Amino acid sequence: MLRQSSGTLTVRASRQGLHPITNPVLAWLAAQAISRGLLTLFCRHTSASLLIQENAAPAARRDLEHYFERIAPEGGPYEHDDEGPDDMPAHLKAALTQTQLTIPVENGELRLGTWQGIYLFEHRRSAPKREIALHLIGE
Amino acid sequence: MLRQSSGTLTVRASRQGLHPITNPVLAWLAAQAISRGLLTLFCRHTSASLLIQENAAPAARRDLEHYFERIAPEGGPYEHDDEGPDDMPAHLKAALTQTQLTIPVENGELRLGTWQGIYLFEHRRSAPKREIALHLIGE
Amino acid sequence: MLRQSSGTLTVRASRQGLHPITNPVLAWLAAQAISRGLLTLFCRHTSASLLIQENAAPAARRDLEHYFERIAPEGGPYEHDDEGPDDMPAHLKAALTQTQLTIPVENGELRLGTWQGIYLFEHRRSAPKREIALHLIGE
């Protein structure tokens, strides 16, 4: 019999950039009575986003962060800067990555590849507290 | 008992750019007999896309539109222009944003953050009629 | 009564770039005892990704490939190059496109638009074998 379960992951990144959340997501999953199904993560913000990326090489994550700083730089020709120079670049980086991720679950585990980790991509310098809505459906 | 429901949202943007669809999505949701679950929006086009972004500041939306015009400009070194100069930039902008969004539903409401709105990102100048497939699963 | 089904699609692209997978996805779908619901594809790699794009014009696909080569070029200012010059561009292109796609299913068919095809976007020159996790829920 299929059922569903929902929750919220509250995270504060230690700084601007990629912040690993695979472990707290797995901890939440382990506490649910569903071991096969579909897990959805939904970032409830427009200046932070979600990304699945390389979980082994810190240099790859640094390159990713620098790349997004280059293609959506502070000091660009932006009209909107209500919350400072990192405001509009944050929205652009969020638009270029993901607000939502859905991952199949099998035998109580996420079907991530060996080198995949889940990251909160924090785009603000202030790194405020962020909420990620969680939803699990399955059996 | 879990069940599912499906539909189609037909939208025509008033112009090229971000066109808000949160309200018609909520109206469809309110008419379904499911108040907790998972809502999926799927854009059935390759020259328009979906985006969750800032719902309060019009300047942020204008900056987003201009940004995508800069990074995927008309007049680029494109081979494909069957439907005019906005044809290939439309495909590029669609590839850089989302064709599909999945949003958890709780108590009959989308779990969007306070500042999040759902947008059809229309990439063609002609702004044709667009179909967004809707799917809701839950109870 | 809702049920679910899961599987794996193993694909090797013939070269770097967009590799069509709509047909093998449809073949898998046709073998499942679910004709209405939600299909999720999850790419288990960080140097390949998924994209829904133009299925008719090969020139549009070539333009897409060239565009991503221009915005995430080999030889950029990257720190990470453990696996060669195409290593870091592969992660960037994956970050800019999709790791996961969820598509509504109705009457045993994907609700793709007329011009939409599903592609594995292979970012490595070597085009290794890739696994795409499949999950179907519905009735």
Which of A1, A52, A99 should be substituted to probe chain C, the one whose Cβ sees the most C Cβ atoms within 10 Å?
Answer: A52
pLDDT beneath 70: ranges in chain C: none
Beta strand pairing status for A37-43 and A130-138?
antiparallel
Phi–psi pair at B93, nearest 5 degrees? -65, -35
Q: Do A91 and B53 touch (CB under 8 A)?
A: yes
CB contact under 8 A, B38 and A42: no
Chains near B (3 or more Cβ pairs under 8 Å) = A, C
- Who contacts B2 (Cβ-Cβ below 8 Å, separation ≥6)? A2, A3, A4, A137, B37, B137, B138, B139, C2
What's the gap in Å between the CA of B35 and the closest CA on chain C?
Answer: 17
Q: Would you call C104 and B40 a contact, using CB atoms and an 8 Å cutoff? A: yes
Say what percent of chain B tops pLDDT 70.
100
Query: What 3-state DSSP class applies to B51?
Result: strand
Confirm or reject contact between B85 and chain C (CB < 8 A).
Answer: no
**Chain B: residue whose CA lies nearest to A73:** B67
Chain segment B83-115, per-residue pLDDT in tens: 999 999 999 999 999 999 999 999 999 999 999
Contact B100 C97 (CB under 8 A): no
pLDDT in tens, A50-70: 999 999 999 999 999 999 999
ipTM, two decimals: 0.97
Listing from the earlier edge strand, what are the strands of the sheet with B48-54? B17-20, B116-122, B48-54
Pair A87, A81: CB distance under 8 Å: yes
| Contact call for A92 and B66, based on CB within 8 A | no
Contact C96 A96 (CB under 8 A): yes
* pTM of the entire predicted model: 0.98
pLDDT digits (tens, 9 = 90+) for B19-48: 999 999 999 999 999 999 999 999 999 999
Q: pLDDT by residue for chain A (139 residues), tens digit each?
A: 899 999 999 999 999 999 999 999 999 999 999 999 999 999 999 999 999 999 999 999 999 999 999 999 999 999 998 899 999 999 999 999 999 999 999 999 999 999 999 999 999 999 999 999 999 999 9
The shortest C-alpha distance from A56 to chain B (Å) reads: 25
The DSSP string of B66-111 is: HHHHHHS-TTSS-S--TT-TTHHHHHHHHHHSBSEEEEEEETTEE-
Give C 33-62 residues with CB within 8 A of chain A.
38, 40, 42, 44-46
C3 touches chain A (CB under 8 A): yes
CA distance C8 to C129: 12
The pair of structure tokens assigned to B110 is: 């989308």
DSSP one-letter code for A98 = B
Nearest to A4 among B37, B101, B111 (CB): B37
Mutate to test the interface with A, among C100, C101, C103, C134 (most CBs of A within 10 A): C100
- At residue A77, the pLDDT reads 96
Nearest-CA distance A73 → chain B (Å): 11
Report the C-alpha gap between A90 and A83 in whole angstroms.
Answer: 10
Among residues B25, C110, C3, C111, the alpha carbon closest in space to that of A137 is found at C3
Start-to-end CA distance of chain A, whole Å, equals 6
pLDDT tens, A19-37?
Answer: 999 999 999 999 999 999 9
The residue with greater pLDDT, A35 or B82, is A35
Residue contact B64–A95, C-beta within 8 A: yes
pLDDT at C126 (0 to 100) = 95
How close does chain A come to B102, measured CA to CA in Å? Answer: 7
Interface test mutation site (partner C, options A35, A66, A111, A136, max chain C beta carbons within 10 A): A111
pLDDT of residue A82: 86
User: Residue B138's pLDDT is what?
Assistant: 98
The answer to whether the Cβ–Cβ distance between A52 and C44 falls below 8 Å is no
Give the per-residue pLDDT at C82.
86
CB of B34 closer than 8 Å to CB of B5: yes
Average pLDDT over chain B reads 97
> Is the CB of B7 inside 8 Å of chain C's CB atoms?
no
CA dist., res. A75 & res. A97, Å (int): 21
B120 at interface of C, judged by CB pairs closer than 8 A: no
Give me the residue label for tokens 């690993």.
Answer: A20
